Structure 1
Amino acid sequence: MSHELLEPADALRIILQHCAPTPAQDRDSELALGCVLRQAVVSAAAVPPFDNSAMDGYALSGGPAPLAAGSEWLVEGEQAAGDAMQGRAQGAWEIMTGAAMPEGLDRVIPVEQTERLEAPHRVRLLAEVAPGQNVRLAGSDVAVGETVLAAGTVLAPQHLMLLASLGVARVSVAASPRVAALCTGRELVDDPATPLAPGQIRNSNGPFLAARMPHTGAELAHAETVGDDVDAFLDAVDRARAAGSHIIISTGAVSMGRYDFVPVALERLGAQVLFHKVAIRPGKPLLFARLPDGTLFFGLPGNPVAVAAGLRFFVEPTLRAMLGLPAERPWQVPLAAAFAKKPRLHFYLKAQLTVDERGQLAATALRGQESYRIRPLAEANAWVHIPLEAGELPAGTLVDVYGLGHLESPSWSRA
């Protein structure tokens, strides 16, 4: 393993060489929200399943020509939503929205364009009505044999609506990767109700990682906080592996300090450390290793924004590959204001994406880019990547913009 600072693209290449897609599993469609389809869905049914009325009104027929306003028609029956399809019909049929069209009738005039007459019961048309008007044909939304959802679709509520309309009870999806989060540091306090002793801080990384997992397509398999002790950490790793974790994320103890014990622990585990340190800010000491059983290990620095950036730009692309999704493509958005840095590292910036009155998007690097500052992260709606070689960037320079998560497009607010 080289100790040179890696380019982020090279680090990702190494990571992706060591991960494989999770297996496919069948899941009830109604429980598949957020899952990634492994197999395309082909419709075995038509939607709508029968010709039906788009309006409350009267169903009629009359050949290829429109029926004239002023004509009168005997009302021969009525058809409500849920009624069985009627045999050959004639005259006018009172019909409700969604009701099956009686056989032989081919148009519907809305009730507000009619006048109801009695003795005998009939209806006068107040407007002409053409063939096919206000009729929803069988299969006009989805035809039998049509591919309605492609493999790789991330299932959203509208997809579950479509599956329900087709009567698809189960779908083949990628099994969710299982992730463990181990936060290290004897200074960390998990219980928010516990008063802090001198030198202690609250554990913000653990809740963040646990909350992010459902938004990444992963499951949190195990989470705990351990002190600065190799043996305790190794026991925690054992518990994480026993929980079936595909990935273990640790926070803290990966830099060069006296208490940065994670590299020592990995050596005792027999892990293969594939890189340690990437040319990025925040998160330069990021470590990636592979345990003997194939479990992937990400050692993230302990500062909160370094954890957020490491998760977003290194762990989440790994999850994306395991779910069978293609690599992300960032948006390119102009900077709202000039930005300057030394051309030594890639920067991942907490950012605000805004839209002005002309509909023009712009990206602003927020104040407080230090890796300990959480508040600007809470105010961010996007990430901005500034490449290593960039120095002075004037306003209007196009930069890569990413959503807060790999399954979330960037959002924006009004300028």
Structure 2
Amino acid sequence: MSQETLAYEDALRIVLGASAKLGAEHCPLSACLGRVLATPVISAVNLPPFHNSAMDGYALTGNAIVSAGTELTIEGEQAAGDGVTYAGIGAWEIMTGARIPDGLDRVVPVEQTERFAPSRVRLLADVAAGQNVRVAGSDVARGEHVLETGTALQAQHLMLLAALGVADVAVSQRPRVAVICTGRELVDDPAQALAPGQIRNSNGPFLAARLPLAGADVVHTETVGDDTEAFEAALRRAWQAGAKIIVTSGAVSMGRYDFVPQALERLGAETLFHKVAIRPGKPLLFARLPGDVLLFGLPGNPIAVAVGLRFFVEPALRVMLGLPQESPRRATLINRYSKKPRLRFHLKSRLHLDAHGHLGVEVLEGQESYRIRPLADANAWAVMPAEVDVLAAGALVDVYGVGHLEFPLPCGSHP
């Protein structure tokens, strides 16, 4: 392991190189929300499956135009769910979504007609061929690619798949991740009163909530004190739970109780790097344990944990899910920002859309790594590269969403 502080790009390259794509599995549609497609979906059917009426009215046929004033006999009725019917003459009363009877080719809305006898109707407007008809296959044609590999399935995708009669799809296996928080000061139970010197564990709930949104299954969570033996036992329990990634928080800096590097050495782990030229989260550690289990040792401050997850763990998850490397968006900086040189900064930020439709990003106050409140107000991360010390308002900056499978809508107008 190199003892030098790595540039972010070099550290990320090591993480990506140590990560491997997982296999695929079939998943029933009812359990597919948030899963990533491993293969494209090609429609085996037309959608709609048949010509149907776009509204309540009367289906009929005729020349290119059937003129207003035409009087027709009502020959029958077609409701949604009725099957094949042949009707070559007259008018058929039809309901929205009902199959167009064979031989008919247009629909006049009921409000553009006058029914003047029990079985007679007069047209109050011209009706062209194809008018108010939803053509079979006009939404999706048989053989059409409807969803591509790498799509993170959301409710709208499930609606489409259900309409096409897809029962299950091939999705990437979800990486199994364990979370271990360290620190004798941490209290997990929110109902427990804090003793002097104690704090609430916020990193554990954050990681357990964000990892599933990033495409992972959290298979083990645990909090241990500043004790090497307890930490090693927790790592073994994470292994036993089948974790392919272990994310720890705390005990990776240079203090007396920062025992993680020594514990990993005792367990035969290969530490690939320890310290990256970033803020927050400089002491971040990355190791490979026996069995090719990856361990991300994140510093204990909450925002260092958030940055470590977003910019190191999530890129590894993308490789495992079979996704390409993420690319940032570019947005105009609303407020000037200056920083220390030679460190890449990851900044809690908020996207805004002004009254002219221009996208801007605001770097929020309170960038210190212990301050959680600004993270709750943020909807994006702005990144300042290591070689830049100052960016003026109006400069373009790289912007990332809160998660690699999510990107925020901007807020309302900013003054």
The TM-score, its normalising length taken from structure 1, stands at 0.98
The Cα of 1:19 is off from its aligned counterpart by 1.0
Which aligned pairs between 1:108-187 and structure 2 lie closer than 5 A? 108-118=107-117, 121-187=119-185
The match for 1:30 is 30
Q: Secondary structure at the match of 1:160?
A: helix
Amino acid aligned to 2:45? A
Q: Following the alignment from structure 2 to structure 1, what is the Cα–Cα distance between the partners of residues 150 and 387?
A: 35
Which aligned pairs between 1:13-412 and structure 2 lie closer than 5 A? 13-63=13-63, 65-118=64-117, 121-412=119-410
The Cα of 1:145 is off from its aligned counterpart by 1.3
Q: Following the alignment from structure 2 to structure 1, what is the Cα–Cα distance between the partners of residues 398 and 359?
A: 13
Q: Does the aligned pair in 2 maintain the 1:386–1:400 contact within 8 Å?
A: yes
Deviations 1:103-124 (A, max 9, x none): 10000000000000116x2100
Q: Following the alignment from structure 1 to structure 2, what is the Cα–Cα distance between the partners of residues 154 and 406?
A: 10
Q: Following the alignment from structure 1 to structure 2, what is the Cα–Cα distance between the partners of residues 100 and 326?
A: 44
Deviations 1:75-106 (A, max 9, x none): 00000000111024320000001111111000
Q: Following the alignment from structure 2 to structure 1, what is the Cα–Cα distance between the partners of residues 42 and 362?
A: 44
Deviations 1:313-354 (A, max 9, x none): 000111111111111111111111111112121100111111
The Cα of 1:152 is off from its aligned counterpart by 1.1
Share of identical aligned residues, percent?
A: 65
Q: Does the aligned pair in 2 maintain the 1:85–1:103 contact within 8 Å?
A: yes
How many residues matched? 413
Q: Does the aligned pair in 2 maintain the 1:8–1:279 contact within 8 Å?
A: yes
Deviations 1:214-245 (A, max 9, x none): 21011111000001111110110011111111
Q: Secondary structure at the match of 2:102?
A: coil
Q: Does the aligned pair in 2 maintain the 1:402–1:410 contact within 8 Å?
A: no
Q: Secondary structure at the match of 2:218?
A: strand
Q: Following the alignment from structure 1 to structure 2, what is the Cα–Cα distance between the partners of residues 18 and 327?
A: 14
Q: Following the alignment from structure 2 to structure 1, what is the Cα–Cα distance between the partners of residues 367 and 376?
A: 12
The match for 2:6 is 6
Q: Does the aligned pair in 2 maintain the 1:382–1:411 contact within 8 Å?
A: no
Q: Secondary structure at the match of 1:233?
A: helix
Q: Following the alignment from structure 1 to structure 2, what is the Cα–Cα distance between the partners of residues 231 and 392?
A: 45
RMSD between aligned residues: 0.9
Q: Following the alignment from structure 2 to structure 1, what is the Cα–Cα distance between the partners of residues 406 and 282?
A: 25
Q: Following the alignment from structure 2 to structure 1, what is the Cα–Cα distance between the partners of residues 86 and 340?
A: 80
Q: Following the alignment from structure 2 to structure 1, what is the Cα–Cα distance between the partners of residues 146 and 361?
A: 36
Q: Secondary structure at the match of 1:73?
A: strand
The Cα of 1:10 is off from its aligned counterpart by 0.9
Amino acid aligned to 1:91? G
Q: Secondary structure at the match of 2:66?
A: coil
Deviations 1:159-209 (A, max 9, x none): 101110110001000011111000000110111111111111111100100
The Cα of 1:140 is off from its aligned counterpart by 1.2
Amino acid aligned to 1:359? G
The Cα of 1:30 is off from its aligned counterpart by 2.1
Amino acid aligned to 2:105? D
Q: List alignment gaps of at least 5 residues for structure 2.
A: none
Amino acid aligned to 2:342? R
Amino acid aligned to 2:181? C
Q: Does the aligned pair in 1 maintain the 2:61–2:88 contact within 8 Å?
A: no
Deviations 1:351-393 (A, max 9, x none): 1111221122221111111101111111111111001111121
Amino acid aligned to 1:355? L
Q: Following the alignment from structure 1 to structure 2, what is the Cα–Cα distance between the partners of residues 52 and 359?
A: 39
Q: Following the alignment from structure 1 to structure 2, what is the Cα–Cα distance between the partners of residues 243 and 28?
A: 24
Q: Secondary structure at the match of 1:413?
A: coil
Q: Secondary structure at the match of 1:83?
A: coil
